[in-house]
Amino acid sequence: MADYISLFVKSIFVDNMIFAYFLGMCSYLAVSKNVKTANGLGVAVIFVLLVTLPINYLLNQYILRPGALAWLDEKYASVDLSFLSFIIFIAVIAAIVQIVEMVVEKFAPALYSQLGIFLPLIAVNCAILGGSLFMQERDFVNVGEAATYALGSGIGWWLAIVALAAIREKLSYSHVPAPLKGLGITFITVGLMGIAFMTFMGIQL
Protein backbone atom coordinates (compact mmCIF):
# COMPACT_ATOMS: atom_id res chain seq x y z
CA MET A 1 0.00 0.00 0.00
CA ALA A 2 2.80 2.39 0.93
CA ASP A 3 4.26 1.72 -2.52
CA TYR A 4 1.08 2.88 -4.19
CA ILE A 5 0.89 6.07 -2.15
CA SER A 6 4.53 6.83 -2.82
CA LEU A 7 4.08 6.21 -6.55
CA PHE A 8 0.93 8.33 -6.57
CA VAL A 9 2.51 11.31 -4.83
CA LYS A 10 5.69 11.00 -6.85
CA SER A 11 3.83 11.00 -10.15
CA ILE A 12 1.86 14.11 -9.20
CA PHE A 13 4.67 16.27 -7.85
CA VAL A 14 8.08 14.86 -8.66
CA ASP A 15 7.59 13.25 -12.08
CA ASN A 16 5.11 15.90 -13.11
CA MET A 17 4.27 15.43 -16.78
CA ILE A 18 4.54 19.12 -17.55
CA PHE A 19 7.34 20.38 -15.37
CA ALA A 20 9.69 17.43 -15.53
CA TYR A 21 8.99 16.05 -19.01
CA PHE A 22 7.25 18.81 -21.02
CA LEU A 23 4.58 16.33 -22.02
CA GLY A 24 1.41 17.68 -23.55
CA MET A 25 2.75 21.20 -23.88
CA CYS A 26 0.83 22.14 -27.04
CA SER A 27 -2.62 21.83 -25.60
CA TYR A 28 -1.30 22.94 -22.22
CA LEU A 29 -0.34 26.33 -23.62
CA ALA A 30 -3.28 26.67 -25.98
CA VAL A 31 -6.11 25.83 -23.57
CA SER A 32 -4.80 27.51 -20.43
CA LYS A 33 -6.30 30.94 -21.05
CA ASN A 34 -9.12 30.52 -18.56
CA VAL A 35 -9.66 28.22 -15.62
CA LYS A 36 -12.94 26.70 -16.76
CA THR A 37 -11.80 25.23 -20.07
CA ALA A 38 -8.47 24.31 -18.51
CA ASN A 39 -10.34 22.32 -15.91
CA GLY A 40 -12.35 20.55 -18.61
CA LEU A 41 -9.28 19.53 -20.57
CA GLY A 42 -7.47 18.50 -17.39
CA VAL A 43 -10.30 16.18 -16.42
CA ALA A 44 -10.40 14.74 -19.94
CA VAL A 45 -6.68 14.00 -19.73
CA ILE A 46 -7.03 12.29 -16.35
CA PHE A 47 -9.85 10.18 -17.71
CA VAL A 48 -8.13 9.17 -20.95
CA LEU A 49 -4.89 8.36 -19.12
CA LEU A 50 -6.74 6.28 -16.59
CA VAL A 51 -8.40 4.23 -19.30
CA THR A 52 -5.59 3.85 -21.81
CA LEU A 53 -2.66 3.19 -19.51
CA PRO A 54 -3.93 -0.04 -17.93
CA ILE A 55 -5.04 -1.30 -21.36
CA ASN A 56 -1.65 -0.54 -22.84
CA TYR A 57 -0.03 -2.11 -19.80
CA LEU A 58 -1.85 -5.37 -20.41
CA LEU A 59 -1.06 -5.26 -24.13
CA ASN A 60 2.59 -4.67 -23.34
CA GLN A 61 2.69 -7.39 -20.74
CA TYR A 62 0.96 -10.10 -22.75
CA ILE A 63 1.74 -9.26 -26.37
CA LEU A 64 4.49 -6.75 -26.97
CA ARG A 65 7.45 -7.20 -24.68
CA PRO A 66 10.15 -9.74 -25.57
CA GLY A 67 8.97 -13.18 -24.59
CA ALA A 68 5.49 -11.94 -23.75
CA LEU A 69 3.78 -14.48 -25.97
CA ALA A 70 5.05 -17.36 -23.87
CA TRP A 71 1.60 -17.74 -22.30
CA LEU A 72 0.23 -18.85 -25.69
CA ASP A 73 2.78 -21.53 -26.26
CA GLU A 74 6.37 -22.15 -25.25
CA LYS A 75 7.53 -21.93 -28.85
CA TYR A 76 6.55 -18.26 -29.05
CA ALA A 77 8.77 -17.37 -26.09
CA SER A 78 11.48 -15.93 -28.32
CA VAL A 79 9.16 -13.58 -30.22
CA ASP A 80 9.86 -9.90 -29.67
CA LEU A 81 7.12 -7.61 -30.91
CA SER A 82 8.29 -4.53 -29.05
CA PHE A 83 8.88 -2.70 -32.34
CA LEU A 84 5.11 -2.56 -32.73
CA SER A 85 4.54 -0.85 -29.39
CA PHE A 86 4.41 2.76 -30.65
CA ILE A 87 1.79 1.98 -33.25
CA ILE A 88 -0.35 -0.19 -30.99
CA PHE A 89 -0.26 2.29 -28.14
CA ILE A 90 -1.24 5.18 -30.38
CA ALA A 91 -4.02 3.16 -32.02
CA VAL A 92 -5.51 2.26 -28.63
CA ILE A 93 -5.28 5.88 -27.54
CA ALA A 94 -6.88 7.19 -30.74
CA ALA A 95 -9.76 4.73 -30.43
CA ILE A 96 -10.42 5.58 -26.78
CA VAL A 97 -10.29 9.29 -27.51
CA GLN A 98 -12.81 8.83 -30.28
CA ILE A 99 -15.15 7.12 -27.83
CA VAL A 100 -14.66 9.81 -25.17
CA GLU A 101 -15.38 12.43 -27.81
CA MET A 102 -18.68 10.79 -28.74
CA VAL A 103 -19.69 10.47 -25.10
CA VAL A 104 -18.87 14.08 -24.29
CA GLU A 105 -20.70 15.31 -27.39
CA LYS A 106 -23.80 13.39 -26.38
CA PHE A 107 -23.89 14.16 -22.66
CA ALA A 108 -22.06 17.47 -22.24
CA PRO A 109 -22.53 19.56 -25.38
CA ALA A 110 -21.49 22.74 -23.57
CA LEU A 111 -18.14 21.26 -22.65
CA TYR A 112 -17.84 19.84 -26.16
CA SER A 113 -18.27 23.21 -27.81
CA GLN A 114 -15.71 24.77 -25.48
CA LEU A 115 -13.01 22.18 -25.90
CA GLY A 116 -13.57 22.46 -29.64
CA ILE A 117 -10.74 21.07 -31.65
CA PHE A 118 -8.70 20.06 -28.64
CA LEU A 119 -10.63 16.92 -27.83
CA PRO A 120 -9.54 15.10 -31.00
CA LEU A 121 -6.08 16.49 -30.34
CA ILE A 122 -5.92 14.64 -27.01
CA ALA A 123 -5.10 11.68 -29.23
CA VAL A 124 -1.91 13.43 -30.16
CA ASN A 125 -1.38 14.80 -26.67
CA CYS A 126 2.13 13.75 -25.71
CA ALA A 127 1.05 13.29 -22.11
CA ILE A 128 -1.12 10.33 -23.03
CA LEU A 129 1.36 8.52 -25.25
CA GLY A 130 4.17 9.60 -22.93
CA GLY A 131 2.35 7.96 -20.02
CA SER A 132 2.25 4.67 -21.91
CA LEU A 133 5.88 4.88 -22.99
CA PHE A 134 7.09 5.67 -19.48
CA MET A 135 4.97 2.81 -18.22
CA GLN A 136 6.80 0.54 -20.65
CA GLU A 137 10.18 1.87 -19.59
CA ARG A 138 9.56 1.59 -15.87
CA ASP A 139 7.97 -1.85 -16.03
CA PHE A 140 5.44 -1.70 -13.25
CA VAL A 141 4.71 -4.89 -11.37
CA ASN A 142 0.96 -5.07 -11.91
CA VAL A 143 -2.05 -3.29 -13.38
CA GLY A 144 -2.73 -1.61 -10.06
CA GLU A 145 0.59 0.21 -10.18
CA ALA A 146 0.03 1.21 -13.79
CA ALA A 147 -3.40 2.62 -12.93
CA THR A 148 -2.02 4.46 -9.90
CA TYR A 149 0.66 5.98 -12.07
CA ALA A 150 -1.98 6.99 -14.64
CA LEU A 151 -4.17 8.63 -12.02
CA GLY A 152 -1.24 10.39 -10.39
CA SER A 153 0.23 11.79 -13.57
CA GLY A 154 -3.22 12.76 -14.83
CA ILE A 155 -3.86 14.72 -11.64
CA GLY A 156 -0.40 16.26 -11.93
CA TRP A 157 -1.23 17.44 -15.43
CA TRP A 158 -4.61 18.77 -14.34
CA LEU A 159 -3.03 20.61 -11.42
CA ALA A 160 -0.44 22.18 -13.70
CA ILE A 161 -2.94 23.38 -16.30
CA VAL A 162 -5.42 24.79 -13.76
CA ALA A 163 -2.64 26.59 -11.91
CA LEU A 164 -1.28 28.07 -15.12
CA ALA A 165 -4.75 29.14 -16.28
CA ALA A 166 -5.32 30.92 -12.98
CA ILE A 167 -2.01 32.72 -13.26
CA ARG A 168 -2.69 33.70 -16.85
CA GLU A 169 -6.09 35.12 -15.94
CA LYS A 170 -4.37 37.43 -13.47
CA LEU A 171 -1.48 38.08 -15.79
CA SER A 172 -3.72 39.61 -18.43
CA TYR A 173 -4.14 42.66 -16.18
CA SER A 174 -0.45 43.29 -15.70
CA HIS A 175 2.02 45.29 -17.73
CA VAL A 176 4.19 42.88 -19.60
CA PRO A 177 6.80 44.19 -22.08
CA ALA A 178 5.20 44.11 -25.52
CA PRO A 179 7.43 41.43 -27.13
CA LEU A 180 6.91 39.13 -24.16
CA LYS A 181 3.13 39.39 -24.20
CA GLY A 182 1.21 36.17 -24.60
CA LEU A 183 3.48 33.30 -25.44
CA GLY A 184 6.80 34.62 -24.13
CA ILE A 185 5.66 35.40 -20.61
CA THR A 186 3.72 32.14 -20.50
CA PHE A 187 6.85 30.13 -21.16
CA ILE A 188 8.72 32.01 -18.47
CA THR A 189 5.84 31.51 -16.04
CA VAL A 190 5.80 27.78 -16.72
CA GLY A 191 9.56 27.69 -16.19
CA LEU A 192 9.23 29.41 -12.82
CA MET A 193 6.40 27.10 -11.82
CA GLY A 194 8.65 24.20 -12.77
CA ILE A 195 11.39 25.49 -10.50
CA ALA A 196 8.85 25.80 -7.70
CA PHE A 197 7.81 22.19 -8.27
CA MET A 198 11.40 21.06 -7.99
CA THR A 199 11.19 21.58 -4.26
CA PHE A 200 9.31 18.29 -4.17
CA MET A 201 12.19 16.45 -5.76
CA GLY A 202 13.73 15.05 -2.60
CA ILE A 203 10.54 13.73 -1.03
CA GLN A 204 10.34 10.07 -0.24
CA LEU A 205 7.41 8.31 1.30
Partner 1 sequence: MKDFNLKETLLNPIFKGNPISVLVLGICSSLAVTVQLKGACVMALSVTIVTALSSLVVSLLRNTIPNRIRIIVQLVVVALMVILVDQVLKAFAYPVSKTLSVYIGLIITNCIVMGRIEAFALGNKPIPSFLDGLGNGLGYGLILIVVAFFRELLGSGTLFGFRIIPESFYDLGYMNNGLMILPPMALILLGCIIWIQRAIQKDLQEK
Partner 2 sequence: MNTNSNVYTIIYSTILVVVVAAVLAFAASALKPMQDENIKKETITQVLSAAAQADESVTISEDVVAMYAEMAVDAFYVDGNGVIGEHMNIGKENKADIKVESTSYLKAQNDIIKKIEAGQTELLSTLALPVYVIKVNSLTVNVIPCYGAGLWGPIWGYIAVAEDGRTLDGAIFDHKSETPGLGAKIAEKPFYSQFQGKKFGEGEKIFDVVKGGANGAENGVDAISGATITSQSLGKTINTWAKYYQPYLNSLAAQTDTETEESAETEENAEVEDATVTEEE
CA distance 142 to 126: 23
| Minimum gap (Å) between residue 197 Cβ and partner 1 | 8
Residue 143 as a binder of partner 1 (CB under 8 A): the answer is no
- Name the amino acid, one letter, at 182: G
Q: Is 139 in the site for partner 2 (CB under 8 A)?
A: yes
Q: Does 74 bind partner 2 (CB under 8 A)?
A: no
Give me the 159-178 binding string for partner 1, x by CB under 8 A, dash otherwise. ------------------xx
Angle, alpha carbons 99-102-105 (nearest 5°):
150
Which of the stretches 58-66, 67-75, 147-155, 188-196 binds partner 1 when contact is defined by CB under 8 A?
188-196
Which residues does 118 contact at the CB level (< 8 Å), separation at least 6?
A: 27, 30, 31, 41
Cβ distance to partner 2 smaller for residue 20 or 124: 20
177 binds partner 2 (CB under 8 A): no
Minimum CB–partner distance for residue 184 and partner 2 (Å): 26
Residue 193 binds which of partner 1, partner 2, none (CB < 5-8 A, kind-dependent) = partner 1
In the complex, what is the shortest distance from the CB of residue 158 to partner 1, in angstroms, rounded to a whole number? 17
Minimal distance, residue 187 CB to partner 2, in Å: 21
Q: Give the residue ranges of DSSP H helices in the chain.
A: 2-9, 17-21, 25-30, 35-59, 85-107, 109-115, 118-121, 126-138, 143-171, 183-197
CA separation for the pair 94, 52 (Å, rounded): 10
> How many Cα neighbours within 13 Å face the side chain of 59?
22
Binding site for partner 2 (CB under 8 A): 15, 66, 83-84, 87, 137-139, 202, 204
